[in-house]
Chain A
Amino acid sequence: MFCPQCGASTPDNAVVCMQCGRNLQAAPPPPLQATPYQGAPLQAPGVILPPGATVPNYLVFAILTTVFCCLPAGIPAIVFAAQVNGKLQAGDLAGAQQASKNAKLWCLISLGLGLAVVVIWGLLVLAGVLTGISHQN
């Protein structure tokens, strides 16, 4: 199948276009007579994305927090980012959204730990400076 927005060729079961990120599930349905019985719909009932929406995988932020904040918490974020894309490729929209939430959660945990270290260090530096000043007097 081809993306209605950018025309890129995408796998038939793709949820989003691999090129431009357009949500292919919200594309206008093909004429009924062309697809009479194709089994269960890919999309779980009740899961409807607004047109053009995508499932973010937070990969960029996962790499950033892994490299700059906290390695142990960043690794799960990257693993969940991989899961998002893997599930999108498999057509599992609900699973991709769950993995997306987990990826975001681990990015935030990693960011929080990194910021905590920066804040603690800042307080230590401040304490050191104040001690230095009081010793000079």
Chain B
Amino acid sequence: MATTTATLTLSSADLTGDALALSTTATLTKAGGLTGLDQTTGVSRKFFASATTAHNLVAAADYTAPKAHKVYIRNTSTTAGEYISVEIGSSNVSLGRLYAGDWAFLPWQGDSDIDIDTSDVNMTVEFMVISEA
């Protein structure tokens, strides 16, 4: 059994009159239990030489479903206008855009593909799946 933690920190001194200072940590466990997720892709990067549409970044066929997998995706670009669009499922439901440096972390059941579009040439996407059998 492995133990993996995810800690999210949100802070802002100037969004409102009351400073935002949120920190929350979750231990990533298998569905329906307290056993830690024990499989992972590791931190991976994929380079896209050209703008891409509906590239299958995480394939549901590679995972058991429905489980409590976790997915991390980051746009490594440093050019403000470059974004990746994240889409879920066979009908490519849009999850939104990750602009330069932005990231997402979400639980994922493993029953629907995660696809991405890249807006420009020469973009790199970093991602990791932490999963269970």
Partners in one complex: no
Interface residues of A (CB under 8 A from B): none
Interface residues of B (CB under 8 A from A): none
